[in-house]
Amino acid sequence: MRSVGARRVTVGLVCGALLLSGCARFDDSASSPFTEEPTLDAAELEPPKQRAPESSTTRPSGPCIDPDPAVVVSCLDTTGGLVELGGYALVTERRTGRILKVAPEAPPVEVARVDVDPAGDGGLSDIAISPTYHEDGLLYAYVTTASDNRVVRIAEGGGPPKPVLTGIPKGTTGNRGAIEWTSPDQMLVLTGNAGDPAAAADPASTAGKLLRVKNPTSNGNAPTEVAMSGIGSAGDICLGGDQIWVTDRTPALDRLQRIGPDGVATTAWTWPDRPGVAGCAVTPEGIAIALTDAKALAMATPDPTTYAVTAPPSVFFANKYGRLLGASPAMDGTIWVSTANKSDGGQPTPNDDRVVRIPPPTAGGGGGPD
């Protein structure tokens, strides 16, 4: 869901993957990484030179070539999270466990593959890059195994993933999770309730929580601190300035929640019609939220001072790309989203699943292009 964001910011007082979001900015400073913009050292992973998308009348035709110039890549398996890295992105396939580098007018490149259990909503849910990615090439992933949900660390050069946080309860549902770095030494981990609302309320369980993980290690037992309880089906984590934004779904409603620098959690907006909130991305226009079941992108606009959301989020691009899942902001102002039309309940086209670049919605609009 978080989708699953690449430029991270320090979050004041609030915040301090088996086998190898998105998100945030309210201002220009929030769009910068902890160090310089990360790059991949391996030649085969270097992003191609950017070219302006060809118009739909001149794009080549054929299998897996989408006529829509906004589509970055087609014919993926159902996706999980993605993170945009400056003209290209890393995206996960939830069921296959693949992590792919995708860029406009280039075939996808498999960066790594993780063994996962994709039953229900499990599998490879989300990825995040190391705060020092340009130096170590490390990725972190939230995955479902045969026995649990967990966070693992994946080295760019290959080899078995290293466990960071294991033992997160697994269920027939509620296995999706999300991860985000808030500072070079602290990670946030959003866990689903494993189909058990009682576990989400149980302080002894790591299910249904937003966890702060200090100095994540590779022994599977990184210490955690609960930042928020009562999470239903996990959506995504978005960082904007000193605010943490979280999306999740409960049996009664879908939610956008916020934690301020004082550590207090508040519900910013709810959707009783349960459109399937998923990945999110904080942009200058507001908080973009992928709606899986509503097959649209929503934009919530917080007050710049109080961060309260008082007006119903606008809805854009309804029914244009199907079920949206991951979301990540790009430096050029676009929002990169991934689709999950091959998942249960979807109606895939021959070109699904896809990664799409969506221009920033116009404030006050609501329809988006047809």
Least confident of 117-121, 163-167, 214-218: 214-218
Tokens standing for 115?
């063994």
pLDDT of residue 158: 73
pLDDT of residue 21: 38
Question: pTM for this structure?
Answer: 0.82
Cβ neighbours for 133, distance < 8 A, ≥ 6 positions apart: 33, 38, 139
Domain 28-34+69-358: give its CATH superfamily: TolB, C-terminal domain (2.120.10.30)
User: Tokens 């400056």 identify what position?
Assistant: 86
Cα(37)–Cα(46) distance, integer angstroms: 14
Average confidence (pLDDT) over 330-347: 94
Q: How far is the C-alpha of 80 from the C-alpha of 15, rounded, in Å?
A: 25
Residues across the chain: 370
Please give the residue that has the higher pLDDT: either 134 or 190: 190
Q: Which residue type does 13 have?
A: L
What's the pLDDT score for residue 161? Answer: 94
CA distance 38 to 25: 17
Higher-scoring residue by pLDDT: 365, 231: 231
The confidence score (pLDDT) of residue 60 equals: 53
Average pLDDT over residues 174-189: 96
Q: Which among 164, 152, 179, 169 has a CA at the least distance from the CA of 220? A: 164
- How far apart CA 126 and CA 246 sit, in angstroms, is 14
Compute the mean pLDDT over every residue in the chain, rounded to the nearest whole number. Answer: 84
pLDDT in tens, 117-154: 999 899 999 999 999 998 999 999 999 999 999 999 99
pLDDT at 302 (0 to 100) = 96
* CA-derived radius of gyration, the chain: 18
- Of 43-47, 126-130, 241-245, 313-317, which gets the smallest average pLDDT? 43-47
3-state secondary structure labels for all residues of 227-251:
EEECCCEEEEEEEECCEEEEEEECC
Q: pLDDT by residue (tens digit) across 255-294?
A: 999 999 999 999 999 999 999 999 999 999 999 999 999 9
The answer to whether residue 368 scores a pLDDT higher than 60 is: no
Closest listed residue to residue 259, CA positions, set 274, 248, 272, 273:
248
Chain segment 34-89, per-residue pLDDT in tens: 434 333 344 344 444 444 344 334 455 567 889 999 999 999 999 999 999 999 99
Residue 156's pLDDT is 72
Show the DSSP H helices in 157-314 as ranges: 197-201
Residue partners of 318: CB distance under 8 A and separation at least 6 = 294, 295, 296, 367, 368
Instruction: Give the rounded percent of residues in the chain with a pLDDT score beyond 70.
Output: 81
Domain edges within the chain: 28-34+69-358
Q: Which two three-digit tokens encode residue 102? A: 């995708």
- Segments in the chain forming alpha helices (H): 133-136, 197-201
Angle at 23 between CA 21 and CA 364, to 5 degrees: 115
